Amino acid sequence: MKIKTAEFIISNSDVAKCPKERIAEYAFIGRSNVGKSSLINMITDRNKLAKTSGRPGKTQLINHFKINNEWFLVDLPGYGYAKVSKSIKKTFQSFIKQYFLNREQLICTFVLIDSRLEPQKIDLEFMEFLGENGIPFCIIFTKADKLKLNELNKNIQFYSKKMTSTLWEEMPPYFATSATNSTGKEELLNYIDQINNQLEKS
């Protein structure tokens, strides 16, 4: 899939105000500072579609971008560390939860994981929440360029063991990506394209 157009539509914290169009929606979420904005800019070939920041917790709203007039890319606030007050953090969690539980257009969630780190409790708990609520998801391992290939594969294997030794029968689909050298871009976009084609046929 080639992304020809990527148009910002709306930012808000009220799920009821999300776009009403019945087109496929793909959400991107991860811990603060996992490289989500950089990844979104990389896969859309836009330098400033999602705002990148050295300060964790920059994204604080549900952001909808319409891609090729065919599907929505949704940039969600990070969970975990963010220099915001407890009351704001509570609101984050509340409206993010509402988005996942009530958004019928949501087809797949991409959970971003820093490929350099061992499995983090907060990531595992978030994926558990998705699983318990029957929300399809994939894992995107970010910053793959920071590791040698064998280290990257070892870390992913370790992640797979961790997940399958607890709640999961198998590792969900996953992608290794780098916003720096565009690793994983084609695979990720092809995956979305395949789902969109299946939805058209059904």
Average pLDDT, the chain: 89
What pLDDT score was predicted for residue 130? 92
In a domain, 1, yes or no: no
List the domain range (segments joined by +) for residue 52: 6-12+22-194
Q: Residue 50 — very low, low, confident or very high, per pLDDT cuts 50/70/90? A: confident
Q: Residue 80 — very low, low, confident or very high, per pLDDT cuts 50/70/90? A: low
In a domain, 200, yes or no: no
pLDDT in tens, 64-73: 999 999 999 9
In a domain, 202, yes or no: no
What pLDDT score was predicted for residue 95? 86
CATH code of 143's domain: 3.40.50.300
Task: Count how many domains the chain has.
Answer: 1
In a domain, 161, yes or no: yes
Determine which of 44-53, 96-105, 186-195 has the lowest per-residue pLDDT on average: 44-53
pTM for the structure as a whole:
0.91
- Rounded mean pLDDT of 19-37? 93
In a domain, 199, yes or no: no
pLDDT at 103 > cutoff 50: yes
Residue in this structure with the two tokens 């399958």, named with its chain if needed: 164
pLDDT in tens, 157-196: 999 999 999 889 999 999 999 999 999 999 999 999 999 9
